[in-house]
C-alpha cells in the first residue's frame, strides 16, 4: 500500500490512502486552522480503532451483541523521555456482558496489529468497565 502525502495549505497535511483522504491539521494555537485531528491524534485513534475491530470480531464470533459497548483510549506521557509511557484502553461493556469473557476480550484487544508494532517498552493497560447505564 502506497500512501501519498500532500500539503493542501497552512499546517494541513493530508494522506491519500487507497482512494481515501485522511485530513490532518494543527490546532490554532500551533499555527494551524484546527479543522482536523493532528497526525498524533490519528496515531492514538488508530490503536483504539484497531483494538475495537478485534473486540468486535471476538464478539461476532460468539454471537455476543456489541450494542452498548464502546472503547475509550488514553495514554500517559513521560515528559522526561518525551514519549508515551503507557496506553490505557478501557472496554466498556453493559452490565450483562458475560463475565466469563472478560479476560478473553482483553486478550483479543491486545492482538491489535497497531499495538504489536509499538516498542515493547511501552506499557499497555487494558481493562473492562461495566457500564450500569449501558444495558
Write out the three cell numbers for 3: 500512501
Q: Where are the domains of the chain?
A: 1-36, 39-131
CA-CA distance, 35 to 11, in Å (whole number)? 10
In tens, the pLDDT along 93-135 reads: 999 999 999 999 999 999 998 888 887 777 888 989 998 776 5
Q: Which residue has the higher pLDDT, 87 or 120?
A: 87
Tell me which CATH code domain 39-131 carries. 3.30.300.20
CB 5 within 8 A of CB 13: yes
Question: Which pTM does this prediction carry?
Answer: 0.85
Mean pLDDT of the chain: 93
DSSP 63: T
DSSP helix/strand/coil, 98: coil
Amino acid at each position: 500500500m502506497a500512501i501519498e502525502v500532500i500539503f493542501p495549505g497552512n499546517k494541513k497535511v493530508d494522506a491519500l490512502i487507497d482512494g481515501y483522504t485522511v485530513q490532518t491539521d494543527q490546532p490554532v494555537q500551533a499555527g494551524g486552522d484546527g479543522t482536523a485531528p493532528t497526525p498524533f491524534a490519528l496515531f492514538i485513534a488508530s490503536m483504539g480503532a484497531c483494538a475495537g475491530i478485534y473486540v468486535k470480531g471476538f464478539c461476532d464470533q460468539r454471537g455476543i451483541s456489541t450494542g452498548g459497548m464502546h472503547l475509550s483510549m488514553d495514554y500517559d506521557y513521560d515528559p522526561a523521555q518525551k514519549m508515551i509511557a503507557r496506553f490505557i484502553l478501557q472496554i466498556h461493556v453493559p452490565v450483562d456482558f458475560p463475565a466469563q469473557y472478560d479476560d478473553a476480550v482483553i486478550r483479543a484487544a491486545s492482538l491489535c496489529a497497531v499495538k504489536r508494532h509499538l516498542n515493547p517498552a511501552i506499557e499497555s493497560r487494558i481493562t473492562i468497565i461495566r457500564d450500569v447505564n449501558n444495558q
